Structure 1
Amino acid sequence: MSIKITEQNFDTEVLQSAMPVVVDFWADWCGPCKMMGPVLEELAAAHPTVKVGKLNTDENLKLAMARKIDAIPALLLFRNGQEVSRSVGYKPAAELEAWLRENGAI
């Protein structure tokens, strides 16, 4: 299951996390974002060693701007408090798993 990420809990849930974290930057009005939701839930269930969080860009605009999000859905992968990779646009589960493997998250 994914967790809700906000400007208030970003440091604790993402930057201070002991495990790799995928943060999905999304919005309610974004069709591809809605398609990505079930894929990320599947990913979270299949890989409990990776934390999956969802951050609504409309509700957390300052954080989205600080992370230079200019297209959504945008997935940012963090390890040890650092962004190590990002993926923009809808991706099926197999592509996301390959992306996580390439970046040492799984």
Structure 2
Amino acid sequence: MPMQHRYLPVEPSLGEIKRFEGLAVIEFGAPWCGYCLAMQPPLEAALAGRDDVRHLKIEDGRGRRLGRAFRVKLWPTLIFLDGGAEVARLVRPTRREAIEEILERIAA
């Protein structure tokens, strides 16, 4: 599944996420966040050719339940899931290699 470039218009429920099969990365952030914008090239590079990884881009902020369910405090936060369960997270990643390292570890 390719990288999403737009935030989802409706965030999935926590129950839906827990039913995911396989690997997934949930990206929490905001479209105006400078850190989020700066992370896009490294994230896109890390996800290139990774059709085995589902990517969801979720806008976070006040009144957004999903971000609170994952205890997101800073943007961007990447939550890595395997079978709907969190197995790793990165907060404000800046390097493609850091993202790839986690993807390789959880895919093994």
Q: For the superposition of Structure 1 and Structure 2, which TM-score range results when normalised by the shorter chain?
A: 0.7 to 0.9
Deviation at 1:89, TM superposition (A): 0.8
Which residue is equivalent to 2:12? 8
Residue number among 76, 96, 99 corresponding to 1:93 in the alignment? 96
Residue number among 50, 55, 69 corresponding to 2:72 in the alignment? 69
TM (norm. structure 2) is: 0.79
Deviation at 1:99, TM superposition (A): 1.8
Give the length in aligned residue pairs. Answer: 104
Which residue is equivalent to 2:25? 22
The amino acid that maps onto 1:87 is L
Identical columns (%): 26
Give the gaps of 5 or more residues in structure 1.
none
The amino acid that maps onto 2:36 is C
Which residue is equivalent to 1:41? 44
Single out whichever of 67-76 and 40-49 deviates more from structure 2.
Answer: 40-49
Give the gaps of 5 or more residues in structure 2.
none
